[in-house]
Structure 1
Amino acid sequence: MSERRNVLFIIIDQLRADCLHGALADHVDLPNMRALMAEAVTFNRHFSVTNPCGPSRASILTGQYAMNHRSVRNGTPLRHDTPTIASEMRKAGYLPMLFGYTDTSHDPRVQAPTDPAMQTYEFPMAGFAEQVEMRLEMSYPWRSYLLSKGYTWDSYWQLYIPGGDGSRLNAPAVYKAEDSDTAFLTNRFLDTMPAYADEDWFAHLTYIRPHPPLVAPAPYNDMYDPTSLPLPTRIGTRKDEAAVHPFFGPALDNAPIASFVIGCSGVTPTDDTIQTLRSVYLGLATEVDHHIGRVMSFLKESGQWDDTLLIVTADHAEMLGDHHAWGKHSVYDAAYHTPLIIRAPGGKAGQDVDAPTESIDLTPTILDWVGQEVPNSMDGRSLLPFLNGETPDDWRDYSFSELDFSEPEALTLWEKRLGTDTSNSSLGILRDDRFTLVEFAADLPPLLFDHHGKGEMENVAEDPAFASDLARLTRQMLRHRMRNMDHTLSLDTITNDGPKRQSRHQPNR
């Protein structure tokens, strides 16, 4: 490997891990990501530490659990002085280039109310140099491109109606595949990066697909036969699913299947509808894979492949009809289990890692690889040892995630039906080798899934045979929260000789 150190950090929005390894893997064509896996390290038990989009990206880019950064909803501000991958890569001498979006809500204490950053939760994170604005609810450069190509519309959101009239769920988008948002973003990346070939660079490339609205250009719209796909994992009927725990009734009603498409009438959760939308989702995933292949080819053809740390992951996952649910406001693995593929020049190739990893590990990994100190505020740990074929002796044996289901501006369905408020409408999820524990801040019963038994198909929290396991995991969750309280300044000391700091990540005592 040369002395050059480039970083390409790709996030795909809402891609499930089982598209690459699991239930859907045999039903979706992702040749470029699979080729990358053969040259990289694949992390099989990688989980987002929080949902939805804004919070998940805040955790990824700050290396912090949501309990510390507290940007827990789309629209909840991230504190302006929080160390991020952008701020720390600048310290390392890199210009953090953003192609896409970070879904960052800015701190109103340091912004005027009239500042454009105060009008959208999709604003780019401070420190990034936005190369092209590509945000789902805005995307003005893409709109201008489409207008220049002769496309017309009365409302921007008409672009997301299948077929333009919504008469068929899997009708093609009104734009050609060569003009899609995914193609446009990739083109802008490929048009920009050749000039940086003579210097170290850091680029964050973020794809909105396969995030809804579920509409795909031809041929991706009907690439997969809905009847050939496996049905979602479900516990009986929708009513049976809601009866498992009080949380699930509001969860099912919060994100109905009809909310995943625009301009289509009469969208009900029949198996035909579910399988059709699952097939469109997989088509969008294949479209993203095609363009990631173009990016990989660019790195190889430009001679930068062996100078570049390449990370491909997702911000969070998607229920996609599992447990009769859609979206990511859930407790089940389908909403949090994301793919993670990392190729490090000189690192292991074709290796799988089964140790639990978390989305907060990615920023520390990048900083470690470029030789930049990881701030004490970051809860994640560098994955570099795994890329070199080693497993640290003190590596975690569980993963942890959080979800906030409140809304300050208007009561959510959970708050209305469960009587919770903004202080206790939250939950924590702890997963070890055998069990998943879900604990609530409100006075609600826990959930416990035994993966040596029926897994997520059966809640065993009230079974006396699992009482000791429930108690042990509850203590583990409490200890986890205590050990990971905010360390931003907790290892700093003001002394007679001036301020001193110990490293959380490389203790010297």
Structure 2
Amino acid sequence: MGSPQNVLFIVTDQLRADCVFGDLAQHIDLPNLRALMADAVTFQRHYSVVNPCGPSRASLLTGQYSMNHRSVRNGTPLRHDTANIATEMRKSGYTPMLFGYTDTSQDPRAFHENDPALRTYEHHMNGFQEVVEMRFEMSYPWRSHLIEQGYDFDSYSSVYHPVSPTGDAPKINDPALYRAKDSDTAFLTDRFLATMPSYKATDWFAHLTYIRPHPPLVAPAPYNNMYDPAQIPMPTRLDDPADEVANHPFFGAALANKTLAGNVVGFPDLTATDENTQTLRALYFGLITEVDLHIGRVIDFLKKTGQYEDTLIVVTADHGEMLGDRHSWGKFTVHDAAYHTPLIIRQPGNGVRAGSVVTEPVETIDITPTILDWVGQDIPNSMDGRSLLPLLQGEVPQDWRTYTFSEFDFSEPEAPTVWEQALGTGPSDSSLSVLREARFTLVEFAADLPPILYDHDAAGEAVNVASQPEYQADLNRLTRLMLRHRMKNMDHTLSLYSITNEGPRLKQRHEMP
């Protein structure tokens, strides 16, 4: 047996890239992530291929575009036989340990209708061993911990209410009812660190998933007021929200879907003043710094136990967060901030590339193939992503992509969404695709709606230039490029098998010229 090959795959929730590297990063204290970046390779143009949480993690862990796995919404089942990182790592002898959640809605064909797996969209993905349940809407172990520590709360939702230290009416940036040592982030890290010491003697794979900085935006002291709202940048936006809405019919419903008040618990009448906006942005920054502290604890554990040099470390996020940009919150939109996420990979034995930055466009679906490639496991043809190992070595394959591709389904079968009501669409045409080049971003809709085209060498996302005559050639070129992308990436699960007189023959997709 060779030297140990461990994999630590850390995913944060709703962390936008420019908070780690970019314009906002200089305003956030991130000593541990920055130290890791100095010892790793950072991918600056890394994008989620789909939003929101459930679909994004389905793509992240299966290596498939949403158009192929079709788990397109939180609560939409993922086919039970879809290859994923856990099923494939098992083929290499790993027990895929899950500390946290994958937000996977199970296939009702594979479970009895009374099975609890069909009562939550937050079930764990097939193949994983759920070591610690830490699901956003469940989190029973953490709740039990809070009760054991003497915290008093009427309901789970009240855990997310800020509490005034003076007994007055709470403010949105008052601290959480729990101390920092008992937060969800601290608890999950504690459980991880308590579990892993005995695994030193074997190769291991751990998927560690932090809920933060996902809303509700409430933080324990000192993170609740760590950053001065007056000292951080204002959102990137037009002065009047109506001017944003005027860019395309999609945006009226987008702004109505997720308001500023929806980011906190207990303040239903909170208005979108600059003061409130900046206060919530400061809370978001504080939660990122809290996550950074605990990622640092995990890295320290690897170093102290002599496992750092044997462990592939991947740190990323499932998707981004608008954070008030374009007068929008959350991730239910088309803008870069909702899809652009950090990706940091430290590969053992790659010290010569420490601190390097990759500027080629990469996607969340590339991470699972990269991990499989590193441990020597074949990449299934179902996976649309490609291994990043060449880019980690500083080599750019001649046929590497020049753009990224993302999708968003804005329907809901049980009750029409605000988009369906406003746009007159249904479940089959309430979707969009986004293609991003260095200069242009194209958004196309399944419904008969006009496209969106942004020119980042001009006004960027402030102005939709799709109808301007001088951009028609670019619009046509990008539309054809998007069509070809979809055609080339149709599901390859079985398409490269041939049934012959000698039995089935298989051509490996990623070895094709």
2:97 aligned partner = 97
Counterpart residue identity of residue 259, structure 1 = G
1:443 aligned partner = 448
1:268 equivalenced with 2:271 (yes/no): yes
1:184 equivalenced with 2:174 (yes/no): no
| Shift >4 Å, 4+ stretches | none
Task: Look up the SS of the partner of 1:197 in the other structure.
Answer: helix
CA deviation vs aligned residue, 1:151-205 (integer Å, no higher than 9, x gap): 1111111110011786200000000000000000000000000000000000000
Counterpart residue identity of residue 72, structure 2 = V
1:406 equivalenced with 2:372 (yes/no): no
2:68 aligned partner = 68
CA deviation vs aligned residue, 1:99-137 (integer Å, no higher than 9, x gap): 000000000011111111100000111110001110111
Task: Look up the SS of the partner of 1:262 in the other structure.
Answer: coil
CA deviation vs aligned residue, 1:366-402 (integer Å, no higher than 9, x gap): 0000000000000000000111121111110000000
Match of 2:177 among 160, 174, 178: 174
- Give the Cα–Cα distance (whole angstroms) in 2 for the partners of residues 486 and 166 of structure 1: 54
Name the CA shift for 1:166/1:75 in 2 (closer, same or farther; >3 Å): farther
2:207 aligned partner = 204
- Give the Cα–Cα distance (whole angstroms) in 1 for the partners of residues 479 and 507 of structure 2: 30
1:380 equivalenced with 2:385 (yes/no): yes
Report the CA distance between 1:264 and its aligned residue. 2.1
Task: Look up the SS of the partner of 1:89 in the other structure.
Answer: helix
Report the CA distance between 1:506 and its aligned residue. 1.6
2:54 aligned partner = 54
1:312 aligned partner = 315
Q: CA RMSD in A?
A: 1.0
Contact 1:10/1:206 (<8 A) preserved: yes
- Give the Cα–Cα distance (whole angstroms) in 2 for the partners of residues 86 and 252 of structure 1: 37
1:283 equivalenced with 2:286 (yes/no): yes
Task: Look up the SS of the partner of 2:36 in the other structure.
Answer: helix
Match of 1:427 among 432, 449, 452: 432
Report the CA distance between 1:404 and its aligned residue. 0.2
Task: Look up the SS of the partner of 1:169 in the other structure.
Answer: coil
Task: Look up the SS of the partner of 2:163 in the other structure.
Answer: helix
- Give the Cα–Cα distance (whole angstroms) in 1 for the partners of residues 210 and 332 of structure 2: 20
Contact 1:430/1:436 (<8 A) preserved: yes
Contact 1:167/1:264 (<8 A) preserved: no
Counterpart residue identity of residue 108, structure 2 = P
- Give the Cα–Cα distance (whole angstroms) in 2 for the partners of residues 433 and 175 of structure 1: 44
2:133 aligned partner = 133
Counterpart residue identity of residue 309, structure 1 = L
Contact 1:166/1:265 (<8 A) preserved: no
- Give the Cα–Cα distance (whole angstroms) in 1 for the partners of residues 20 and 212 of structure 2: 16
1:238 aligned partner = 241
1:224 equivalenced with 2:230 (yes/no): no
1:473 aligned partner = 478
Residues 2-11 or 78-87, more deviating: 2-11
**Where in structure 2 are there 5+ consecutive unaligned residues?**
none
Task: Look up the SS of the partner of 1:163 in the other structure.
Answer: coil
For normalisation by structure 1, the TM-score amounts to 0.99
Task: Look up the SS of the partner of 2:207 in the other structure.
Answer: strand
Task: Look up the SS of the partner of 1:286 in the other structure.
Answer: helix
Report the CA distance between 1:455 and its aligned residue. 1.1
CA deviation vs aligned residue, 1:267-326 (integer Å, no higher than 9, x gap): 111000000000000000000000000000000010000000000000000000000000
Task: Look up the SS of the partner of 2:434 in the other structure.
Answer: strand
- Give the Cα–Cα distance (whole angstroms) in 2 for the partners of residues 157 and 458 of structure 1: 39
- Give the Cα–Cα distance (whole angstroms) in 1 for the partners of residues 144 and 357 of structure 2: 43
1:459 aligned partner = 464
Report the CA distance between 1:53 and its aligned residue. 0.1
Name the CA shift for 1:493/1:296 in 2 (closer, same or farther; >3 Å): same
Counterpart residue identity of residue 219, structure 2 = A
- Give the Cα–Cα distance (whole angstroms) in 1 for the partners of residues 340 and 483 of structure 2: 22
2:159 aligned partner = 159
Contact 1:166/1:262 (<8 A) preserved: no
2:325 aligned partner = 322
1:352 equivalenced with 2:357 (yes/no): yes
Counting matched residue pairs gives 507
- Give the Cα–Cα distance (whole angstroms) in 1 for the partners of residues 473 and 395 of structure 2: 33
CA deviation vs aligned residue, 1:433-481 (integer Å, no higher than 9, x gap): 2100001110110011111111111111111111100000000000000
2:42 aligned partner = 42
1:22 aligned partner = 22
- Give the Cα–Cα distance (whole angstroms) in 2 for the partners of residues 156 and 446 of structure 1: 42
Counterpart residue identity of residue 292, structure 2 = D
1:32 equivalenced with 2:32 (yes/no): yes
- Give the Cα–Cα distance (whole angstroms) in 2 for the partners of residues 30 and 112 of structure 1: 46
2:142 aligned partner = 142
Counterpart residue identity of residue 191, structure 2 = R
